[in-house]
Chain A
């Protein structure tokens, strides 16, 4: 009950923030979509960080390190620290300057102009929107499931127990449909009222919330484990492979052995049950296998995806000046460190922590993403549980808001204004359409999320790979004068074709550990799309002198 109160209080604060940001709204399209290009250094840092870090940064980082050990930090966090900052510096600042000079609001406007091709927008539109939608679904589903889980038993007289098709939800839980609806409505409220300024303010607030809560949780949990040294010593004794990236033949593998034992008991029970009462067969326990050098190296390609995120493009354009980027470029890797390092340590400790001779996370625990929630529930107070839930929701909403707004912006500016009204559209109409589309997109994705499509979480990694495969397009657009329209088409089509091919090879995201030739699939996609872009550009007619002058010529004040 206390947790529900904290969550409601947190959502109420966001609504207030939405009202406050709307007081600064000037009523123009530029203000709604780009905050009149007036966002300063601190807000830009917070909104970029909040947008790139999803709930995965807190929950997933703990869960992944629980599964695979400390290597997760190098794989996902330190690569992101280097690459994200590089993309902000090398791509973000340039795109901001083009946006400021030529009045762009969306990524597609820029590419249409840069490649002198109206139809390129028609190809990019379904690709970009198609890649953002699973990302949105992950957020909505994650929010609904989180609220459902943490409120179990809170309102037994209002919400009876129910069956989701896979599991039974205990009585009293705020149902998934209601929890996800509440989150969608709160995000819709502040995006509707404040536009991108509302999202920047909310992101700043939410980023501070999940940074603070992450650090606080780390200190409390370390204390419960008998201090940081004791927590690590338990891992060294029982599961030392989690402290490195290899698994040795003589490792004790205590957790794996425990998981195997529980699995054997579950399997025996399953086999003994009558076939009609069996339910799904218990999943096999995977033996720890460490990281290969090639896998670790080629993860480099995944964070390149930020260069093509349409919602990040929009945030870049909100910057007041190029100098506003300076803080983001430097502080982004440090903020990643602050969020990820404590969560990775908690995940690793959780593999081996024992209290009174019993493992804190019981053997046979099959949901790594629930490890952080379980630790907080078992070891801390309901108050911290409430704040942790608020932190998780903060991370989810700080990505959802920008994605909703950016898709609304794409529909308004790249489709309706561009094709139907032929750019003869007033400022108020643009704002009206932007808001209308945001409502429609929230409604459509909310409805889709109610089906709880399976495999959508694995699909998230494939979305990142898809955006990464388009990175050569934006890099060449910014730095290579000779890149041509045909080269751009070849790049997008090759990226789409290799994505579809490798996605099918992986069993349509059925294999969580899928690697192609021992590498992340994104490595092959980026190589193929780069090759297509370069070869076709060199074989076709260069862009016009006017375009070269427009993007690479000197600035005339």
Chain B
């Protein structure tokens, strides 16, 4: 699943280059949003969904352990 999510991120980057809508000023979504803009608004929403999946399936294992570290483990005072 982890690899699938990272593949989705790469797919998102590829899909960002939407040469297929490059010169379309006729098609309007909801009657007023040009398709080239609506598509990229969709990319923003897809980015949010992809990173939500990453939160779930690709969460780094070691970072949650760090939360339980006592503060004293930080080197001396904050800022060394």
B-contacting residues of A (Cβ < 8 Å)?
28-30, 33-34, 70-71, 73-74, 77-79, 81-82, 85-86, 89, 93-94, 96-97, 100-106, 109, 228-229, 231-232, 236, 240-241, 243-246, 248, 293, 296-297, 300, 321-323, 326, 329-334, 336-337, 341, 344-345, 348, 413, 417, 423, 427, 430, 554-555, 557
Contacts and interface: CB of A to CB of B under 8 A. Distances in A.
Interface of B: 9, 12-13, 16-19, 21-26, 28, 31-34, 36-37, 40-41, 43-45, 47-48, 51-52, 54-55, 58, 60, 62-69, 73-80
B19 A293 contact: yes
A348 B38 CA distance: 14
A550 to B, nearest CB: 11
B16 A79 contact: yes
Contacts of A82: 9, 12-13, 16, 43, 47
Most B CB within 10 A of own CB, among A81, A101, A228, A336: A81
Given A240-B25, A331-B48, A105 B18 contact: no
Given A30-B78, A89-B54, A297-B17, 19 more contacts: A30-B79, A33-B78, A34-B78, A71-B36, A73-B41, A78-B43, A79-B16, A82-B9, A82-B13, A85-B48, A97-B60, A101-B73, A244-B21, A322-B60, A326-B55, A333-B51, A334-B44, A348-B34, A423-B80
Contacts of A96: 63
Nearest to A296: B17
Given A71-B36, A78-B44, A100-B69, A236 B25 contact: yes
A144 B54 CA distance: 42
B48 A557 contact: no
A102 B74 contact: yes
Given A79-B16, A555-B65, A555-B66, A427 B77 contact: yes
A247 to B, nearest CB: 9
Contact of A329 (B26, B55, B62): B55
Contacts of A326: 55
B22 A246 contact: yes
B47 A74 contact: no
A244 B75 CA distance: 55
B37 A330 contact: no
Nearest to B69: A557
A81 B42 CA distance: 11
A191 B12 CA distance: 38
Given A231-B32, A427-B77, A100 B18 contact: no
Contacts of A104: 79-80
B42 to A, nearest CB: 9
Nearest to A71: B36
Given A103-B74, A300-B13, A417-B79, A330 B55 contact: yes
A345 B34 CA distance: 9
30 contacts: A70-B36, A71-B36, A73-B37, A73-B41, A77-B40, A78-B43, A82-B16, A82-B43, A85-B47, A86-B9, A89-B55, A101-B73, A102-B75, A103-B76, A103-B80, A104-B79, A243-B25, A244-B23, A245-B22, A245-B23, A293-B19, A293-B22, A300-B13, A323-B64, A329-B52, A334-B44, A334-B45, A345-B37, A555-B66, A557-B69
Contact of B40 (A33, A74, A329): A74
Q: Identify the 8 closest CB pairs spanning chains A and B, nearest first.
A: A103-B74, A30-B78, A243-B25, A322-B63, A243-B34, A105-B79, A228-B32, A333-B47
